């Protein structure tokens, strides 16, 4: 509620709705504005909650959609056809497998072949790991250590600085370095020989197991059964996995899509309720607009001004538009905010719900003519503000430039404090805490 009553100066008064520091990027909240205009805030708040749920559902739904389109390679609209096709293929392959696998005389040999294939896979994996380690050792072969010239250069540099603190001769240093190099080479070569020996053993074992596997499989190959069955099993597993994954994703997508549609429908219902409440308060809105029109005519000399509020299907839910003559400029946008805020205080229907407090901190960064007329308007309406607390801060430099004969507002009469570098607020030095 305090947003439109105590606007942050760093909001730059750019918008009648956005009341906070522009750097904070705080989303617009229409709740206090609707309340002051007598519009029911319940459907608005409910619509905002639903909008957040819709956004979350949309994010999840779009992610699932991308996954489906990636799997199928086509648009989401073709996904169901892909699922039906996969289901048909899975059923067809299953029947073919059952026909090939019906002869129980092959069961024992088939199990033996499967066990041998598992052993082959394990041996190949172990061979790959050993080859990778051997490759890393080979990359270290050669003179990768510090050469003698670099040792001499560093030795001489430190010898000059330390004098008698270094007792070792250069030859001793180089000799010690070579011992370390030799030790490292010995470790690497020993490990290399071990790896090569293990690789030879694995290669021999792979040959033996592979030969045995082929002998066992020949029983099936003679009848053509093993090869066909193996291919069918692999194809079946692949298609079954594709079918399960795709059908599961489509089911999830449809679930989230149904929830999304339901939330959209509920949100639309809230927007209709909000629109009806706006229509019910048309008299208040018209009275509020008339207050702004009279202010505009006083300051700018015309009534080229309008105020409109309506419910919308957009994310913001509410569209609130105040237009004034030649708006869009820095100073006129500030004047627009001044009109809006003050009209909420001066309009009888909105004042009934108004807390009666309004603070404008340095709002008048406008031209002299607009400033004078705005202050004169305040002077004429001062009696209407007797039951309210309106706090306005003005730059003394701007006031000093005004021709006092044109100014109707008795600033000295209404002035409650004058703050300068020597006369500070609360009589002490202060500064804003930095934001981490």
Cβ atoms of residues 34 and 41 within 8 Å: yes
Query: DSSP readout, 68-105?
Result: HHHHHSS-GGGHHHHHHHHHHHHHHHHHHHHHHTT-GG
Cβ atoms of residues 69 and 253 within 8 Å: no
Cβ atoms of residues 307 and 321 within 8 Å: yes
- pTM score, two decimals? 0.62
What digits encode the pLDDT tens for the residues 202-233?
A: 888 888 877 777 766 665 554 444 555 566 56
Cβ atoms of residues 415 and 383 within 8 Å: no
The neighbour count for residue 251, using CB atoms within 10 Å, is 12
CA distance 423 to 259: 62
Spatial CB neighbours of 4, under 8 Å, sequence gap ≥ 6:
16, 19, 32, 33, 36, 341, 344
pLDDT at 167: 46
CA distance 364 to 109: 94
What digits encode the pLDDT tens for the residues 257-309?
A: 999 999 999 999 999 999 999 999 999 999 999 999 999 999 999 999 999 99
Cβ atoms of residues 256 and 64 within 8 Å: yes
CA distance 193 to 185: 12
Report long-range pairs for 5-9 (Cβ below 8 Å, ≥24 apart).
5/32, 5/355, 5/357, 5/358, 5/359, 6/357, 6/359, 7/337, 7/341, 7/359, 7/360, 7/361, 7/363, 9/361, 9/362
Cβ atoms of residues 242 and 71 within 8 Å: yes
- The residues pairing with 132 across neighbouring beta strands, listed in sequence order, are none
- The pLDDT averaged over each successive group of 10 residues in the chain (436 residues) is 77 83 84 95 96 95 87 74 74 65 54 74 83 76 57 63 51 67 73 82 82 65 53 67 78 92 96 96 96 95 94 92 81 90 94 91 86 91 87 82 79 80 70 64
Angle among Cα 298, 302, 306 to the nearest 5 degrees reads 100
Angle among Cα 330, 333, 337 to the nearest 5 degrees reads 140
State residue 135 phi and psi, 5-degree precision. Answer: -65, -40
pLDDT at 312: 93
- Region of residue 13 (left: phi > 0; alpha: psi -120 to 50; beta: else): left
pLDDT at 249: 85
Helix, strand, coil shares of the chain, percent, nearest 5, are 70, 5, 25
Instruction: Provide the H-helix boundaries in 281-359.
Output: 282-300, 330-346, 348-351
Q: Which of 297, 264, 311 is nearest to 39 (CA)?
A: 311
Strands 389-393 and 318-323, how do they pair?
unpaired
Spatial CB neighbours of 351, under 8 Å, sequence gap ≥ 6:
344, 345, 388
State residue 418 phi and psi, 5-degree precision. Answer: -130, 110
29: Cα within 13 Å, side-chain hemisphere: 15
């Amino acid at each position: 509620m305090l947003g439109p009553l105590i606007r942050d100066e760093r909001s730059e008064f750019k918008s009648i709705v956005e009341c906070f520091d522009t750097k904070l990027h705080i989303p617009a909240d229409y709740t206090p504005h609707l309340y002051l205009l007598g519009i029911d805030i319940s459907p608005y708040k409910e619509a905002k909650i639903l909008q957040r749920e819709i956004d979350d559902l949309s994010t999840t739904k779009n992610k699932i959609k991308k996954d489906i389109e990636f799997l199928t390679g086509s648009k989401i609209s073709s996904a169901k056809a892909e699922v039906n096709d996969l289901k048909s293929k899975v059923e067809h392959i299953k029947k073919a497998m059952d026909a090939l696998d019906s002869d129980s005389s092959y069961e024992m040999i088939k199990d033996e072949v499967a066990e041998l294939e598992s052993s082959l896979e394990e041996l190949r994996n172990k061979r790959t790991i050993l080859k990778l380690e051997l490759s890393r050792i080979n990359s270290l072969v050669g003179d990768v250590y510090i050469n003698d010239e670099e040792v001499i250069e560093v030795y001489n540099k430190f010898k000059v600085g330390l004098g008698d603190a270094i007792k070792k001769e250069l030859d001793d240093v180089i000799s010690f370095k070579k011992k370390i190099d030799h030790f490292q080479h010995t470790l690497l070569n020993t490990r290399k020989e071990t790896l090569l020996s293990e690789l030879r053993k694995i290669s021999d074992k792979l040959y033996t197991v592979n030969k045995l596997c082929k002998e066992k499989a020949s029983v099936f190959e003679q009848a053509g059964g093993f090869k066909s069955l193996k291919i069918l099993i692999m194809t079946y597993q692949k298609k079954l996995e594709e079918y399960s994954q795709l059908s599961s994703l489509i089911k999830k997508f449809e679930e989230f899509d149904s929830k999304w549609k339901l939330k959209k429908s509920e949100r639309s219902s809230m927007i209709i309720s909000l629109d009806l409440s706006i229509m019910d308060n048309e008299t208040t809105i018209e009275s509020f607009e008339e207050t702004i029109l009279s202010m505009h005519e006083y300051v700018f000399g015309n009534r080229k001004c309008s105020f409109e509020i309506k419910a919308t299907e957009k994310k913001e839910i509410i569209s609130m538009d105040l237009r004034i003559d030649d708006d869009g400029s820095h100073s006129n946008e500030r004047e627009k905010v001044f009109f809006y805020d003050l009209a909420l205080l001066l309009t009888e229907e909105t004042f009934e719900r108004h807390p009666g407090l309004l603070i404008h901190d340095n709002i008048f960064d406008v031209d002299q003519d607009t400033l004078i007329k705005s202050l004169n308007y305040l002077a004429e309406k001062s009696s209407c503000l007797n039951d309210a607390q309106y706090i306005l801060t003005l730059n003394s430099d701007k006031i000093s430039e005004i021709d006092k004969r044109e100014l109707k507002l008795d600033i000295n009469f209404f002035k409650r404090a004058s703050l300068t570098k020597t006369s500070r607020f609360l009589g002490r030095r202060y500064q804003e805490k930095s934001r981490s």
